[in-house]
Structure 1
């Protein structure tokens, strides 16, 4: 057992990013190409930047021709290149280079982030529509839907701000988008773009007051309501 432990430690370890293992298919890498990459990685980490194909074939249990084919596929699929790098003596030597693979993985990460943001925005939009319909107790008309889309797409009001304006309208028993629009315009004039900013402004205006009576449809809209999104 002690002899095995020594051999195990002397063999070293190869570090592979889990992100690659999770997403190698998404960047166009096949399982065979991944296996070859792993074998290449072990030698590159040891300073041997272009191991012989027959060595790789021996490790993989393949014939050498199959290894050459997979290496060609990696280059053709723009996952690997062959470059020249100086060795310790300053002599140029060929080396396998996987910077293209890294670039594809980074692009995939950006695309994934954008996709997640788009899904989140879509969900937020749907939540706004559903909450307004629920509080109004009726389906929205096409004109009302257009107005809400304009708030989001043209006026760039955050969903949380629209939800806060909805709470103010409901507490005032004013089930109207026009009423909500007056609130949103009032906040916009004050450069209040988030629910947190609205709350801080109200606390600044009324430092000793923890609550305020809701406005009625016939009264002037208060400068800033104190209702938080977590209020019910």
Structure 2
């Protein structure tokens, strides 16, 4: 390739195909032909021609001018393309321009829907994992009322799955393995703005330390002689 030719190509600049369009076109009801046409139209807009004629579009495609006009009308009917009017600075006349904002709006809605679906799927997975974990710790199948309570923690109270696991662990450590005790833990955490497992751990340690400091001097002395003794488990129902 000749140097002059290479320089000419480089001077033409770079055109970036919107990756989100390539990723979500099928999800918003577009076909490959629609997508390619929108990419061509996008390239005209990027080059400063915001209202190319059907003839200009056809000159870079295998479509006829009439086919280009038909495709524009189809895309407008699908709600991904509009024509906007712009007033000239001296307000003597109006100019028209194609707008792809409806397309981007549809894509962003699709992204939000996808994220919501992923979140819902994750919640279902967490819920199934929690049921399995609870049944393992309780060493028996959960009763219908217990299943309903667990579902209420997840769906009604919006407790994070990891926090529910942490509350279960608290109840195991306290040898108070029952739903009333776990519910009280979750209630206390929510009331005190606890949203992460780390926050819950710090919160529990603070009250355990408080209980430990309230011990008599004699018991403290005994504790010092027994370095393996840890701070007492906090009784969440005893507050």
* Secondary structure in 1 matching 2:125: helix
Aligned mates of 1:141, 1:194 — CA distance in 2: 28
Q: Structure 2 regions of 5+ residues with no counterpart?
A: 214-227
Moved more, 48-57 or 66-75: 48-57
Distance apart, 1:22 and its partner CA: 0.7
Give the corresponding residue for 1:102.
Answer: 104
Distance apart, 1:201 and its partner CA: 2.2
Distance apart, 1:8 and its partner CA: 0.7
* Secondary structure in 1 matching 2:26: helix
1:31-85 deviation digits (Å, cap 9, x = unpaired): 1122222222222112212222123223212222221221111111111111222
| TM-score normalised over the length of structure 1 | 0.80
Give the corresponding residue for 1:80.
Answer: 81
Moved more, 72-81 or 26-35: 26-35
Counting only pairs closer than 5 Å after superposition, residues 170-209 of structure 1 correspond to structure 2 as 170-187=172-189, 190=192, 192-205=194-207, 206=209
* Secondary structure in 1 matching 2:16: coil
Give the corresponding residue for 1:221.
Answer: 235
Question: For residues 133 and 95 of structure 1, do their structure 2 counterparts lie closer, same or farther at Cα, with a shift above 3 Å needed?
Answer: same
| TM-score normalised over the length of structure 2 | 0.78
- Correspondence for 1:114 among 108, 113, 116: 116
List 4+ stretches of structure 1 deviating above 6 A. 207-211
Question: For residues 33 and 211 of structure 1, do their structure 2 counterparts lie closer, same or farther at Cα, with a shift above 3 Å needed?
Answer: farther
* Secondary structure in 2 matching 1:50: coil
Distance apart, 1:180 and its partner CA: 2.5
Give the corresponding residue for 2:95.
Answer: 93
Q: Structure 1 regions of 5+ residues with no counterpart?
A: 225-232
* Secondary structure in 1 matching 2:95: strand
* Secondary structure in 1 matching 2:83: strand
- Correspondence for 1:126 among 115, 125, 128: 128
Question: For residues 190 and 68 of structure 1, do their structure 2 counterparts lie closer, same or farther at Cα, with a shift above 3 Å needed?
Answer: closer
Distance apart, 1:92 and its partner CA: 2.2
Question: For residues 46 and 130 of structure 1, do their structure 2 counterparts lie closer, same or farther at Cα, with a shift above 3 Å needed?
Answer: same
- 1:157 paired to 2:178: no
* Secondary structure in 2 matching 1:26: coil
Decide whether the 8 Å contact of 1:144 with 1:177 is kept in 2.
yes
Give the corresponding residue for 2:222.
Answer: none
Aligned mates of 1:192, 1:104 — CA distance in 2: 37
Moved more, 4-13 or 204-213: 204-213
Decide whether the 8 Å contact of 1:171 with 1:214 is kept in 2.
no
